[in-house]
A and B are shown apart, each in its own frame.
Chain A
Amino acid sequence: MVKFWILHGIKNGILTTKYPAKMPTVDEIPVSSIPPSPSTNTSWVDGEKICPTGSIQAQPRRNIDLGKCIYCNRCANAGFDFDDHDKSEMGRTIALQAKKISAIDLAEKNIVEDWNKKRAIFKRSFHIMMIDVGSCNACNLEVLNLSNPYYDFTRLGIFFTNSPKHADALVVVGALNTAMVGVLKRTYESMPNPKVVISVGACAISGGIFHDTEGFVSPIQAIIPVDVTVPGCPPTPIQILEGLLLTIGKLEKTSAATRLEDDNKTFQQG
């Protein structure tokens, strides 16, 4: 019996991704997780009309809010691009927004320092707990997929834990439901300090496609402070992994995040 498992293991070889040492492959970042980008013949006004979640904004500033994007590809009709145009860049999650980059004004130096200090502790082993506050189950499965042999996040010192009291980070998935507000708050409060919150998926960040259903209350960050967001519907395990690595400071400000800022600038000019 035991012999069988060992042989089986040897026969199959190593499945685990080379990420983060190398860029993820095309298999790991499917087309559906590539966010829209404006091209030369993009009509922003049309895009705003087409977008079902209000992710595309033409006024007052041209912007794509990836926290709202559900990757439905409908804005392709308005000239937005979904091609894997730069494969080298695409590997990096395109739109991780760490607190230090976007959510908090960079002028508030204290907060940035706090965030860095907080992060320094997590460089060793890092335990995450997932809480579902109203998801469709896809984000849950993608977070749990991190433990499968293809991603194997334990090699990076990240582990699941089942109790908030043992958790360093709370991974929140789903569109926050009325019934889960109190539960989320209690879970957050019972975590020891220092703690971080990572909201995964468009639903957690902005409500996504459920932003105007009756069950939806508000984005997670309106209830508890969120440190890192991972957009996607659902984000692929690699993107979630990148969010986690960014949290523990094993990835510095991603090339992707830089690109997001640059893109914003170009949107304004164009």
Chain B
Amino acid sequence: MLYPFIPKFVEQRQVEDPCGALQTSSVFEIDGRPMAILTDTENNNTILSDIPSRLGDEISVLIKGETAPGIQVDLDLGARVEGYGVFTFQYGPVSSGISEAGGFKLITYGERIVKVIPQINFKKRGVERRVIDMKPDDALLLVERSAGNFSASYSTCFVTCVETCLGLEVPSRVRWIRAVALELERIYNHLGVFGRLAEAASQNIATAKANALRERILRINAKYFHHRFLFGLNRIGGVNNNLLAKEERRDLFESIRTLTNEFSNLVTYFLSSRIFLDRLQNTARLPKQDALKLGAVGPVARGSGIGLDDRLTFPIEPYNDIIIEIEIDDDEDAMARTMIRIQEIQSSTLILEQLLDRMPSGDISKTQPSTEASSALHNTDSAFSFCRIESPSGDLIQVVQLDQKGRIKMLHIRPPSLVNWLSFARSLEGNVFTDFQFAFESFGLSYADSDR
């Protein structure tokens, strides 16, 4: 099946919401599984609930656990940790290790971590609620600023949903340009993770090198897409930057290739440093069964031997048309996740080569909806669509519903970081406190992403 698509409407029925109450909801079939759109009355959230599966429950619990200072997400509701010398260590929301507003409760008896409770929602801005009744154009500004370093993924996912709802047939070229931005975003995020890991291991020169490479990608972004973090990349039905000239595309690719070559050169020397390897190997192991159960996504899943990548499993154009190599590592530790990211920088370069070389010609925007498509839209009272994008940290899901006037009726974002917090918390159990930073960075989690 080609993504994005309009989910098949199944029926209206009573579904249990995360608070345990029954509510009437429309059930849709997504990937052959029934899914319901529910309103979380406690927090006024809209959530996409995967009805029978455990994953849906876990996500619901995480959302339900909620927010505000003082109240934390409790991963196993009702579980308590007690014992001689066990105490709770509060880490964040203002801390040196994490540059963002977010925290952890570490339950520990000195050195070993017994349990980790991530505290999210310190910066919950409420994008999903704000965009209700907004025009998709205006909502896009908010969506692309939900998570700054995943901006291209967020905005591409959102506009793809809206375009599907409106029945806009976007020119191929637009999708290819979006894919270029997605791959650039992946490379700079992975470089960032590598840099922070090196920093945590006090490898000063390597940190400087990795950060310099990252800065170069940001400058490439600015040069070709007019924004260092790719804000303003998309508009509904098109993109704002046309990589028109062949020379321009070749220059872009050449600069990326020199950069990734330098990076692989750097990695060769870096991976011969025992100081670094010792920190990562066997740190924060996430066994495959746990990863499956907790629904890990992105490099975290691939580092635990699960071959889940939206570019392959749920391809939107142009990912169905090009050769993509994804790496899977069975080592399950922080090293495996780091290696996945390192290899993905290389594979993204190969993808970029194909994208820039074979980019189809055509317009870069489309404004008029095609009539036959928009008439087939309405499976309930209004248009509704669903899209998955492989963001640098994994599978990003957005569900968009438009009302009759073309305004946003509902937006649901399922950020990759939100599910990976569970995997992160599980993987840290039994590790020593001093390895915390390596574990945290190897997951590449972002609070802005999960707090949207």
Q: What is A's interface to B at a CB cutoff of 8 Å?
A: 1, 4-5, 8-9, 15, 27, 30-32, 52, 70-73, 130-142, 144-145, 147-150, 162-164, 174-175, 177-180, 182-183, 187, 208-210, 212-216, 233-234, 236
Cross-chain contact A144 with B126 (CB below 8 angstroms) = no
Cross-chain contact B125 with A210 (CB below 8 angstroms) = yes
B127 at interface by CB-CB < 8 Å = yes
Which of A1, A135, A208, A212 is the most central at the interface, judged by chain B CB atoms within 10 Å of its CB? Answer: A135
Determine the chain B residues whose CB is within 8 A of the CB of A214 once the complex forms. Answer: 125-126, 129-130
B376 at interface by CB-CB < 8 Å = no
Which of B205, B209, B218, B448 is within 8 Å of A136, CB to CB? B448
What is the bound-complex CA distance between A216 and B123, given in angstroms?
A: 9
Among the 9-residue stretches B142-150, B155-163, B344-352, the one with 4 or more Cβ atoms under 8 Å from chain A is B142-150
Determine the chain B residues whose CB is within 8 A of the CB of A27 once the complex forms. Answer: 219, 222-223
B105 at interface by CB-CB < 8 Å = no
B269 at interface by CB-CB < 8 Å = yes
Residue of A nearest to B265 (CB): A8
Cross-chain contact B126 with A180 (CB below 8 angstroms) = no
Q: What is B's interface to A at a CB cutoff of 8 Å?
A: 67-69, 93-96, 99-101, 121-127, 129-130, 138, 141-142, 145-149, 151, 192, 205, 208-209, 211-212, 214-215, 218-219, 222-223, 226-229, 231-232, 266, 269, 272-273, 446-449
What is the bound-complex CA distance between A210 and B143, given in angstroms?
A: 10
**Least Cβ–Cβ distance between B174 and chain A, in angstroms:** 18
Cross-chain contact A4 with B269 (CB below 8 angstroms) = yes
What is the bound-complex CA distance between A233 and B226, given in angstroms?
A: 13
What is the bound-complex CA distance between A62 and B193, given in angstroms?
A: 45
The answer to whether residues A137 and B149 also contact, given A179-B68, A179-B123, A216-B125 and a CB cut-off of 8 A, is yes
Which of B138, B214, B215 is within 8 Å of A52, CB to CB? B138
Determine the chain B residues whose CB is within 8 A of the CB of A130 once the complex forms. Answer: 99
Cross-chain contact B211 with A147 (CB below 8 angstroms) = yes
Residue of A nearest to B126 (CB): A214
Cross-chain contact A136 with B148 (CB below 8 angstroms) = yes
Given contacts A72-B141, A138-B149, 16 further A-B contacts (CB under 8 A): A15-B212, A52-B141, A132-B100, A132-B101, A134-B125, A135-B123, A136-B145, A136-B147, A137-B449, A148-B212, A149-B208, A164-B94, A180-B93, A183-B122, A208-B145, A215-B124
Q: Can you name 13 A-B residue pairings with CB atoms under 8 Å?
A: A30-B228, A32-B232, A134-B123, A136-B146, A137-B147, A137-B448, A140-B99, A141-B99, A148-B214, A174-B123, A179-B124, A208-B145, A209-B141
Question: What is the total of A-B residue contacts with beta carbons within 8 Å?
Answer: 165
Determine the chain A residues whose CB is within 8 A of the CB of B127 once the complex forms. Answer: 213
Determine the chain B residues whose CB is within 8 A of the CB of A180 once the complex forms. Answer: 93, 101, 122-123
Residue of A nearest to B225 (CB): A32
What is the bound-complex CA distance between A182 and B68, given in angstroms?
A: 12
Determine the chain B residues whose CB is within 8 A of the CB of A140 once the complex forms. Answer: 99-100, 148
What is the bound-complex CA distance between A138 and B127, given in angstroms?
A: 16
Determine the chain B residues whose CB is within 8 A of the CB of A15 once the complex forms. Answer: 212
What is the bound-complex CA distance between A164 and B94, given in angstroms?
A: 10
What is the bound-complex CA distance between A145 and B449, given in angstroms?
A: 20
Cross-chain contact A179 with B122 (CB below 8 angstroms) = yes
Cross-chain contact B122 with A177 (CB below 8 angstroms) = yes
Cross-chain contact A32 with B231 (CB below 8 angstroms) = yes
Determine the chain B residues whose CB is within 8 A of the CB of A216 once the complex forms. Answer: 125
Residue of B nearest to A182 (CB): B69
Cross-chain contact B148 with A141 (CB below 8 angstroms) = yes
Determine the chain A residues whose CB is within 8 A of the CB of B124 once the complex forms. Answer: 177, 179, 215
The answer to whether residues A145 and B269 also contact, given A179-B123, A214-B130 and a CB cut-off of 8 A, is no
Which of A141, A148, A177 is within 8 Å of B123, CB to CB? A177
What is the bound-complex CA distance between A166 and B185, given in angstroms?
A: 35
Cross-chain contact A187 with B68 (CB below 8 angstroms) = no
The answer to whether residues A215 and B125 also contact, given A52-B141, A149-B211 and a CB cut-off of 8 A, is yes
Residue of B nearest to A175 (CB): B125
The answer to whether residues A30 and B211 also contact, given A131-B94, A138-B148 and a CB cut-off of 8 A, is no
What is the bound-complex CA distance between A236 and B229, given in angstroms?
A: 10
Which of A72, A135, A141, A150 is within 8 Å of B232, CB to CB? A72
Residue of A nearest to B148 (CB): A138
**Least Cβ–Cβ distance between A102 and chain B, in angstroms:** 26
Determine the chain B residues whose CB is within 8 A of the CB of A137 once the complex forms. Answer: 100, 147-149, 446-449
Determine the chain A residues whose CB is within 8 A of the CB of B100 once the complex forms. Answer: 132, 135, 137, 140
Which of B100, B138, B447 is the most central at the interface, judged by chain A CB atoms within 10 Å of its CB? Answer: B100
